[in-house]
Amino acid sequence: MGRINGLHHVTAFASNAQENLDFFRKILGLRFIKRTVRFDIPEEIYHFYYGDEVGTVGSIVTFFPITDMPEGSHGKGQLSAAGLVIPDGSVGYWTDRLTDHDVEHTVEERFDETAIGFTDPDGTPFELVTGDSDIEAWDGGGVPAEHGIQGLHSVTVHSNDPAGSFRALETMEWTRVGRHDEPQVGDRVRYQAPGDGSGAEFVDVLIRPNAPQGVMGTGTFLHVAFNAGEQWEQKEWSDRFRDEGLITTSRKDRDYFWSMYFTEPGGSTFEFATEGPGVMLDEDVSELGENLRVPDWLDVDLTYIDKQLPDITVD
């Protein structure tokens, strides 16, 4: 059996496609690498992908901008943050940049790292976390490469059942590596992926028993995806999860990867996705994000769909 060697991507909900594009491209400096649609409802909803220059697994953040979705609220039973890697010497650059763009933020020290917390225009919680990554920052988005985002660092699971969340992560063969006490708030327990420690490799389980339940909506995360390798490895992991009582879905064709899902006992949705074929399946690297793309197997009128979707400007 292979290893679930790190994070693959995270997915959240937004309310306004253009605001989402402008924030992640122009403020965070990520590359817009794919514009496609929600495959279940292709005529209504965009699916935006952001990442590094080539859409490396472990660099990707995706959004469904849905104009009529109610606003969500943060709490137990969902992901409460996604962390993005920045170089150790870049905290000052990013606090200045966020201030210049009127983005409120906090700075916290934990696990020998600095975490800059902020939210996107819909209130989705993100962090810029100092660390190491094998992913090269995209330097075409207005952020110098020496300060650029180098992919995913971590996600935080705000758990309804911390012991159950621990069990799910340990079934994935992730290792408990630390605990950070947050006085009058709660604790966070960190798990690390197996492997060489090269980037998107942490899950923090947040323990706050008195917190309210989260409600899904704009400004919240849909799921975190883990890198499950090849399809045969994904199938072996599915069998193992089922043996442990973690019931997985059937395999879903996401065109750029194959996905399976389960709801971990703490309430968050865990996806385990294949590494390929990748976002350059249908576009050259120089063209990523420029045009609306849908899978060949999705029998739809692309011109019609394009007219139904909100107008966006990518400049």
Closest CA to 49 of 65, 35, 70: 35
The full set of domain ranges for the chain reads 7-308
> Which pLDDT does position 200 carry in this prediction?
85
CATH code of 7-308, in short, is: 3.10.180.10
Lowest-confidence segment of 132-141, 167-176, 195-204 by average pLDDT = 195-204
> Which pLDDT does position 185 carry in this prediction?
67
Distance CA 47, CA 119 (A): 20
CB atoms within 10 A of CB 63: 25
> Which pLDDT does position 184 carry in this prediction?
63
Strands (E), the chain: 7-14, 31-37, 46-51, 60-65, 78-86, 105-110, 113-119, 125-130, 152-158, 175-182, 186-192, 202-207, 221-227, 252-253, 258-263, 269-273
Distance CA 214, CA 47 (A): 23
3-state secondary structure of 17: helix
Distance CA 254, CA 19 (A): 25
Mean of the per-residue pLDDT values of the chain: 95
% of the chain with per-residue pLDDT over 90: 89
Do β-strands 252-253 and 258-263 pair in parallel, antiparallel, or remain unpaired?
Answer: antiparallel
> Which pLDDT does position 88 carry in this prediction?
95
| Cβ pair 265, 167 in contact under 8 A | yes
Q: Side chain identity at 208, as an amino acid letter?
A: R
Length of the chain: 315
Q: In which band, very low, low, confident or very high, does the pLDDT at 49 lie, cut at 50, 70 and 90? A: very high
Structure tokens at 58: 């472990």
Distance CA 201, CA 193 (A): 5
Tens-place pLDDT, residues 180-228: 987 766 799 999 999 776 678 999 999 998 999 999 999 999 999 999 9
Tens-place pLDDT, residues 282-304: 999 999 999 999 998 998 888 89
Distance CA 288, CA 271 (A): 24
With 90 as the cut, is the pLDDT of residue 44 above it? no
Tens-place pLDDT, residues 52-68: 999 999 999 999 999 99
With 90 as the cut, is the pLDDT of residue 42 above it? no
Model pTM score: 0.97
Tens-place pLDDT, residues 10-20: 999 999 999 99
With 80 as the cut, is the pLDDT of residue 241 above it? yes
